Amino acid sequence: MDAIDVYYHPLFLKHETGEHPENKQRLVVAVQTLEGSALDLDWVTPEPAVSADVERVHTPEYVETVRRVAAQGGGWLDWDTAISPDSYDAALLAAGAGIMAVDRGVEDGALAFMLVRPPGHHARPSQGMGFCLFNNIAVAAAHAVDVLGLERVLIVDWDVHHGNGTNDAFYDDPRVLFFSIHEGNHYPGTGLASEVGSGDGAGFTINVPLRAGGGDGAILASFESLFLPVARSFKPQLILVSAGYDGQRGDPLGELRYSETAFQWMAARLRSLALEVGGAGPLPFLEGGYVPSMMATSIVATLRGVLGEQPDFETTVLDSERQDVQRAVEAVRPYWKDAL
């Protein structure tokens, strides 16, 4: 069995958020669960990103705002996004983890999981929101295209909330194909099927908003009839994942009904895709998931999928799920006629 690099640092626990769904206990439980698993894990201490890394995605003014608020003792960027004295340094480490994993993944095929916080996919170029400070996965993707010179990077976001920050970062960039499956009519209110990119990036943003109650059938339908055909045509050189676990049945911050098996199945399909097209990854970044024990076991399932362990995934596709996916198919079909 291959080893997986797990990027983690105790400083992530010092991003203090108080009585908040996104709190340090999430990582405490995840570390304990991973250490007790049978997986072959190499624990990697990340190096912090520098300002130039983060500013490929965020404005210098915003980066300075996060630094200043932390240096002054902390505060709130908005009603649900906290900064504590150590948050700036933790956020730089979280972003740096992704850069390191991308370098190793592209260079020698290393597999990795970013066990990091604060999370990132809601952070926009000049605005942190949704518990997120710096957009870790977007910083990693920008490093891949701007520094390493990759021409085709795929980002898959399966968090229950639309990754609006990542969506915005690459909306007009054909080098990054962004695929998000999420709960529609839910925070942050973006991610309509009609949001498909603009300019040279038209068709390279794919959003699949699901109605509440959607579950494994929607995942199966979206992967088989939309995502995988487009991704095979795109031929990604690198696959990154915003791995949120708040779409799982029972999570308090969403109303989707994914099973634990679904995460392993998606990760395994992405690993098969990477091997098929000769790309690196998948490299998952922790985003949401607010029942720590449930999130932790789903991370283990995800890593089994990253290692290529394809689970049985027998599920029924509901008519509502098929309709939601088909709406997204029709939105991007003009850009991917040969694939769809």
**What amino acid positions are annotated as catalytic residues?**
122
Residue 328 CA to residue 222 CA, distance in Å, equals 9
User: What is the three-class DSSP state of 116?
Assistant: coil
Peptide bond into 229 cis (omega under 30): no
3-state helix, strand, coil in the chain (%, to 5): 40, 15, 40
Distance (Å, rounded) from C-alpha 234 to C-alpha 116? 29
Whether 324 contacts 209, CB under 8 Å: yes
**Largest pairwise CA distance in the chain:** 55
Beta carbons within 10 angstroms of residue 313's beta carbon: 17
Chain centroid, CA 282 distance in Å: 11
DSSP states of 146-175: HTS--S-EEEEE-SSS--HHHHHHTTT-TT
Q: Please give the structure tokens belonging to residue 67.
A: 């630094």
